[in-house]
Structure 1
Amino acid sequence: MDQSKAVLMERPPVYSELPIPSIPCLGGVKKLVCVVLVVVVLVLVLVGVLLMGLHMSQKHTETIFQMSLQDGSSTGAHGTGVATFHLDTGINSSASVVYDYSKLLIGTRPRPGHACYITRMDPEQVQSLETIAESVLSKITSDASRQDDSMKPVTDRSLLGTTIKVLCGSLPVYWA
């Protein structure tokens, strides 16, 4: 053993370490990638929560509307309230619908459009938004030339409630 120590002492083995090229900002890049990844995940979570909230608020509005219709139809009288809704009826077309329970009228203003349309509300069975979209809006869009002949204009605007008057403004109003 002494000989091996002596040999090692005379000629020590060559240990060499090759230097690894170091990139000075490599630690910063890892931090930057982590920060960007966390921000992307947070944005995706936030967008998901917002979309889920929007969906839930739409369902809540529809549920409240259905409950108000069921409560009103069971008593037979709807009170004096007004309900306003927006219908998306397709590409580049929509409509605003006003349920006026005091006047028992439903006002519809299609957009784009140059007139308003009203129909009587059945106090026992209030028409749903789908029914309004199918019946009133299909009559309106069927044929513009026949539209003026088949629908009677409202001559006395005092029949309309304040909300329907505001909805229609100065546009002509027809019975649908």
Structure 2
Amino acid sequence: MDESSKEALMEEAPPSYTASSRPPYNPPQLKSLLVVVLVVLVLTVVIVTFLLLGLHITETHAETVLRMTIQGLDGEGTPPQHLSMSKKERTGTFAVQDGLNSSAVVVYDYSKLLVSYRSWSHRACYITRMDKDNIPGLDAVTQTFQHRQAEMKEVGDNVVALADRSILGTTVNILCSSVPVYWA
């Protein structure tokens, strides 16, 4: 090696080293794992939000329908009503007033599409069919049955009771088990 080339190398200053701006070793799998966890977390939050929103909307709608049925469309008038619902039998049972000191029970049977009425002051049950697209309100049903009940008093024993109780649901069969059932 030539003497001049050695001197040239020694006269040059050694290169200066600086710290890298790159973070220490990050494997690509860790980055993809963090992205997947973040995506799953965001999806979970979105799904839970939509489920809770749907539950709230459904609950609000059900409360509105019950309020309209119980209080009437104008929100006035009828005294407080009591409602029992059975999802298994698909029935709604209302306790209503039948005169001053008497009560009655109205059962909406959505599986059989029947509405039934039993007054505790009279010895009879009344049933009628309902249209699934146009379900009558509680006030209208009560008035219809009370009118039919008054007609039955005038006619007397000439009306034939329903012979086949198999068309009635369990709730109505229990409610009307000890009295005759008539079509209204």
Q: TM-score range by the shorter chain?
A: 0.5 to 0.7
Q: What per-residue deviation string (whole Å, max 9, x for no partner) do you get for residues 56-87 of structure 1? A: xxxxx97442679xxxxxxxxxx961000011
Task: State the one-letter code of the partner of 1:157.
Answer: R
In the alignment, is residue 173 of structure 1 matched against residue 181 of structure 2? yes
Q: Does 1:131 align with 2:132?
A: no
* Cross-structure match for 2:126: 117
CA contact (8 A) 1:95 1:110 kept: yes
Task: Percent identity, please.
Answer: 43
Give unmatched runs, 5+ long, in structure 1.
1-60, 69-78
In terms of fraction of residues, the more helix-rich structure is 1
Counterpart in the other structure of 1:99: 108
Q: Would you say how many aligned residue pairs link Structure 1 and Structure 2?
A: 106
**1:140, 1:147 within 8 Å by CA — same for their partners in 2?**
no
Alpha-carbon deviation of 1:103? 0.5
* Counterpart secondary structure, 2:148: helix
SS at match of 1:90: coil
- 1:155 corresponds, among 148, 154, 163, to 163
TM-score (ref. length: structure 1): 0.53
Q: Which residue of 1 aligns with 2:94?
A: 85
- Partner Cα separation in structure 2 for residue 158 and residue 66 of structure 1: 32
Contact 1:109 1:115 in 2 (8 A): yes
Distance 1:107 1:89, change over 3 A: same
Over 3 Å counting, the alpha-carbon distance change for 1:148 and 1:118 in structure 2 is farther
Q: How big is the alpha-carbon RMSD for the aligned residues of Structure 1 and Structure 2?
A: 2.8
* Distance in 2 separating the partners of 1:147 and 1:132: 22
Q: Equivalent residue of 2:163, what SS?
A: coil
Q: CA deviation at 1:93?
A: 2.5
Q: Is the CA contact 1:152–1:175 (under 8 Å) kept in the aligned structure 2?
A: no
8 Å Cα contact 2:124-2:176 kept in structure 1: yes
Structure having the higher Rg: 2
Higher RCO structure (Cα 8 Å, ≥6 apart): 1
Once residues 110 and 97 of structure 2 are traced to their aligned partners in structure 1, the CA distance between those partners, rounded to angstroms, is 23
**Aligned-residue offset at 1:145:** 3.4
Q: What secondary structure does 2:95 align onto? A: strand
Any gaps of 5 or more consecutive residues in structure 2?
A: 1-61, 70-87
Confirm or deny: 8 A CA contact 2:98 2:119 kept in the other structure. Answer: no
What TM-score comes out, normalization by structure 2 length?
0.50
Structure 1 residues 94 and 124: CA distance shift in structure 2, 3 A: same
State the distance in 2 between where 1:108 and 1:128 align.
Answer: 13
The 2-side partners of 1:159 and 1:143 are apart by 22
